[in-house]
Structure 1
Amino acid sequence: MFYNMRDTFHQSDFVEYFINNSPFTRLCLSFAVLHYIMSFLHVIAYDANKQLENLSSFYVNYILPYVKRRSSYTAVAAAVVVYFSYRVHKMSEIPKNLQHIPAVPYWPFMRSLLSGESIDHRTRNYILPVIANSPNGLYLRPVRRGWTVGVAGPATMKRLLLRADDFEKSPMFAKQDSLFNKFMGKENIVLLNGSVWKKHRMIANPAFHRSMPVKLFGRLCEKMMLRFEIEGDGLGNVDVANFLQRFTLDVIGLAAFGYDFEALDNPENEKVDTYNSIMAGIQSAVYFVFPILEKRFLWALPKRRDLYRKLDDMNEIFYSVIQHKRDTLASMKNSIEDTEKDLLTLMLEANEEAVDADHRLSNLELRDNLAIFFLAGHDTTSNALTFALYFLAANPHIQVKAREEVLDIMGDGDDVIFPTSTQCTDMKYVYMIMKETLRMCPPAVGTSPRRSNKDMDLVGTLIPEGTPLNADIYSMHHDPNIWKDPETFIPERFASRGESETKAGRGLAWAPFGNGARQCIGMNFSLAEQKVLLAMLLRRFTWELPEDSINKDGLKIGGGIGIMYAKDMHLKFTKRF
């Protein structure tokens, strides 16, 4: 409504229309203007500050002079609009105690975030120029409620990640009323601190060390390769991103708690649709930046409410599987080798072995940790694999070298062979490819928010108590002052005595899984999954980019909040036998 008026009315005409209508209409008009303020953050280009000044001037000169003489509805509506205008303005102001840290431009950065521009665009245009003038890789960037300190230097990254007691996980992240937080929960290994976090780690850590289901990875990879030939256009045009999303969803469902999503066999089924809809919903930038939409206006958002209902359905699945596992654990405890047991089973076994009830996890805590495993282990691994397949297609000489290593270890032929854990360990060059992929395209571009628990000196920069900090992994991995020719794919960086090793004394220059005590607990699980799939694909196929690929002249990247993915990644596969 407001957009149409903006085009057809002069400002004074709008004021007359505003004044001469009913109180309810005036209230609606004011909220329409409020909607415009929020929308302009989403779509207005780089002169956003000027636009905000014009809008404020319009209210001051044409609307507010009439407020005193009008009804209480008008006064309340105007007050609401003024309040939100003030809050938007305050969000863009850098706090005085952080003004010594270089900052990215607020409005262009937010416009880029909300309009869906890729992370490489924001990094190249807004972050790297600021970091170039920062002596230690610290900078300020906008978040949903003001500013956070971005950490993108090896020395500062090491201090942030290894000194967990100084930089605890921020509790504000768990307090938001949102679909994301409802899915992730509050009682999990990612968000908790102190002794409660240690309790969760003691239960989950042994489970991940005991579970490495390479046979499961191999079986599902074989199933996926067969689907390549019978779906769509066959091997000539394989939608690898889609297949890898389905593959990793089946892996995490079965490996985490023995639940079969059947994504490879039937990608259109209700279980897959429910999960994918929730994942797409929690990555929406608009709801992340404006959580008030879900907290106060969910009643007006039917599609968003439908996602909450789907999440309720998924939670029923979580709880029913947990209870079923509890009921059947005793009968099957020794019937499956540890490496092939699902994580929930192993966590329940560790739970039973805990010294007392205070050291055991409740069903709610188990559920929240399972949700984290899904969030951290599904999209991130599928995207990492998609990027790896792209880089092997775009660099055929690297693909040839990787295949030679796999054939030397596994042998050649048309028989179906799953690599063993030992064989995966022997694949040194494939591992270099994976590490270079994760440097160039870390699917999780940063870590969950932290905050300083006291005033401290962080590699020469004062960080006041309570300051939020985020590890900016992507920017660090692409900083030309840290990595030589960072936009070129060079697996040999990670060879013995290669470029990566020379950086060891400078801090943490490569950190796709974080580091320290709070390093991603599923790192080895994900790396093993990636090695099995890459080895089996290299043994069975060669592949290349189709001539009409949008990625032919360079990788096209998309992404939601905290996650990046390859756009429209189709590849042409050819059987080797």
Structure 2
Amino acid sequence: MDTLQVIAKDVDKQLEKLTSFYIHHILPYVKRRSPHTYIASAVAAFFSYQVYKAIRVPKNLRHIPAVSYWKYMKSALSGEGVDLRAQNVILPVLAKSPNGIYLRPNRLGWTIGVANPAAMKTLFLRTNEFPKHQGFTKYRDSLTTRFGGANNIVVLNGGVWKKHRMIANPAFHRSMPVKLFGRLCEKMMTRFEKEGDGLEDVDVPMFLQRFTLDVIGLAAFDYDFEALDNPNNEKVENYNIIMEGIRNPIFFFFPILEKRFLWAFPGRRQLHRKMDDLDKLFYSIIDRKRQTLASKKGLVEDSEKDLLTLMLEANEESEDIQHQLSDLELRDDLAVFFLAGHDTTSNALSFALYYLAVNPHIQEKARKEVIDILGDGDDIVYPTAAQCSEMKYIYMIMKETLRMDPPAQNTVPRASSDDIDLAGTFVPKGSTLSAEIFVMHHDPSLWKDPEEFIPERFAPGGESEAKAGQGLSWTPFGSGSRQCIGMNFSLAEQKVLLAMMLQKYTWELPENTINKDRLVIDGSMGIISPKDLHLKFKKRF
């Protein structure tokens, strides 16, 4: 068979796959959401053209092992969780990579996935060579960018990023509001018993989302979303609907649809109207806080101030207007803190409760530690910050949970500022790179029995400590100067809730659950969450 025949055969295969992809994934999705068949067909045809352009790996990246475009996209668009995608599509390719570097599709095109501890360390610590990719801001009309904004602390670089970090630092380097965490946890536990089927069948992610929404609202803005008291109020419903829309895989991978064809998706247009309402809420919170700050200046202790108050004060203390944040920048920072402080923490806690449910010996060991520190009895005890620091085994459980299911499966993409050698792989200038946190945490060449939940990995002298000289093998919060600024806030919140629940309840999986044989992960994009996770609780007193 000559070269032309080989090429023709390859093209035929690609067209066959594209036709199948069009029929089974694109056209049905668009038809369900567009009122007119001819519009649906036109959008889907354009969509298919975009896919066809995207399937081929660029010439300058063909030296890097690549996953199958079709297998990856089929997994992403069919609703499979990241765990199945990692096991079936990515790890087999990664096993053939000499250094934990591979290629995968992304909304920005083919992306270099970094899942090697040494390369991960380089990617996180050498920020001048690997700045945040600005492609995120290219689609300013997308729901994702509209929510997080293009001027937030997560996506900015250089001096502008440093300005944001200086304003935000005071708010995140103070004592954590552990009393607030405890008070809202007690309220949530009361709701466990009153709503639905009571303790027999608790929708864990739903309650934890309500808990963390109230926490971030009060701690960050001094604003009560009333998610625990009134979960069906308009503010909560709008936020939840927008979050669901952001995680939609079709619009995640193909933002061009939202930019060019929003008119063809009535449901998506409705989400953008709800985003208008959420925007107004963010700005009204900033205005109200600025007025309150002016009227109560000097009357509120630092320990009682919320995140927005501390940021506004730091902003005012900067006499140089070039070093102050505009209302737009404040709004974008608050939105991204809101997302990081709500969804990621609630899902991390959901996963932790699941692993304690299916590992009763670990649950009992953790409970013993809590009782030794807080005492036992029928009184609700709010852990203090000092007591939280004593919870060594609870911390191991949290770290192992974040290894198994890091809420952020990967990071905001980086861009290579020049031709660079990364762990022995040539990375051309302008390449897109992603820290593949979930994949690295489940790589059997890096972790012993990676699918087993073993908190002792993180004990002194344990497996994690032994890896310290190899680079960064555990990175749920990133690392270096761009490490998640809310890490300590999230960890303190998790410790308080786990301790209070271990003291008051025991829990297990109910009889009829889709999570009986394994934890089922939702197939949405972005933040990882469990699917239909219900647990059965029993009061200890």
CA displacement 1:183-204 (0-9 Å, x = unmatched): 1111110111100000000001
Report the CA distance between 1:43 and its aligned residue. Answer: 8.4
1:379 counterpart residue number? 343
1:266 counterpart residue number? 230
Q: Tell me if the contact between 1:452 and 1:467 (Cα under 8 Å) persists in the aligned partners.
A: yes
CA displacement 1:397-418 (0-9 Å, x = unmatched): 0011101111111111111211
Q: Tell me if the contact between 2:43 and 2:261 (Cα under 8 Å) persists in the aligned partners.
A: no
Q: Tell me if the contact between 2:408 and 2:528 (Cα under 8 Å) persists in the aligned partners.
A: yes
* SS across alignment from 2:351: helix
Please tell me whether residue 532 in structure 1 is matched to residue 526 in structure 2: no
Report the CA distance between 1:328 and its aligned residue. Answer: 1.6
Unaligned regions of 5+ residues in structure 1, if any? Answer: 1-33, 45-77
CA–CA distance in structure 2, aligned partners of residues 392 and 223 of structure 1: 22
Q: Tell me if the contact between 1:179 and 1:308 (Cα under 8 Å) persists in the aligned partners.
A: yes
2:530 counterpart residue number? 566
The aligned amino acid for 1:242 is: M
CA–CA distance in structure 1, aligned partners of residues 248 and 461 of structure 2: 42
1:493 counterpart residue number? 457
Report the CA distance between 1:286 and its aligned residue. Answer: 0.5
* Larger CA deviation: 253-262 vs 478-487: 253-262
2:32 counterpart residue number? none
CA–CA distance in structure 2, aligned partners of residues 320 and 39 of structure 1: 46
Once superposed, what is the RMSD of the aligned Cα atoms?
2.1
Match of 2:193 among 229, 253, 259: 229
2:217 counterpart residue number? 253
CA–CA distance in structure 1, aligned partners of residues 369 and 51 of structure 2: 56
Q: Tell me if the contact between 2:419 and 2:428 (Cα under 8 Å) persists in the aligned partners.
A: yes
CA displacement 1:196-224 (0-9 Å, x = unmatched): 00000000121111251111101100000
Q: Would you say how many aligned residue pairs link Structure 1 and Structure 2?
A: 513
The aligned amino acid for 1:106 is: Y
2:391 counterpart residue number? 427
> Percent identity between the aligned chains?
68
Q: Tell me if the contact between 1:211 and 1:340 (Cα under 8 Å) persists in the aligned partners.
A: no
CA displacement 1:46-67 (0-9 Å, x = unmatched): xxxxxxxxxxxxxxxxxxxxxx
1:309 counterpart residue number? 273
CA displacement 1:155-196 (0-9 Å, x = unmatched): 111110111111001111111120110111111101111000
The two structures have a TM-score, normalised by structure 1, of: 0.86
CA displacement 1:88-144 (0-9 Å, x = unmatched): 323111111101100000111111111111111110011111111112110000112
CA–CA distance in structure 2, aligned partners of residues 342 and 223 of structure 1: 20
Report the CA distance between 1:550 and its aligned residue. Answer: 1.8
1:38-437 → structure 2 map (5 Å cutoff): 38=22, 40-42=24-26, 87-176=50-139, 177-210=141-174, 212-437=176-401
1:457-536 → structure 2 map (5 Å cutoff): 457-536=421-500
CA–CA distance in structure 2, aligned partners of residues 246 and 548 of structure 1: 24
The two structures have a TM-score, normalised by structure 2, of: 0.91
Report the CA distance between 1:363 and its aligned residue. Answer: 0.6
CA–CA distance in structure 2, aligned partners of residues 288 and 249 of structure 1: 24
Q: Tell me if the contact between 2:47 and 2:257 (Cα under 8 Å) persists in the aligned partners.
A: no
CA–CA distance in structure 1, aligned partners of residues 73 and 160 of structure 2: 35
* Larger CA deviation: 562-571 vs 268-277: 562-571
CA–CA distance in structure 2, aligned partners of residues 487 and 378 of structure 1: 26
Q: Tell me if the contact between 1:212 and 1:340 (Cα under 8 Å) persists in the aligned partners.
A: no
Q: Tell me if the contact between 2:522 and 2:531 (Cα under 8 Å) persists in the aligned partners.
A: yes
CA–CA distance in structure 2, aligned partners of residues 163 and 430 of structure 1: 32
The aligned amino acid for 1:429 is: Y
CA–CA distance in structure 1, aligned partners of residues 58 and 388 of structure 2: 50
Unaligned regions of 5+ residues in structure 2, if any? Answer: 1-17, 29-40
Rg (Cα) greater in structure: 1
1:541 counterpart residue number? 505
The aligned amino acid for 2:109 is: G
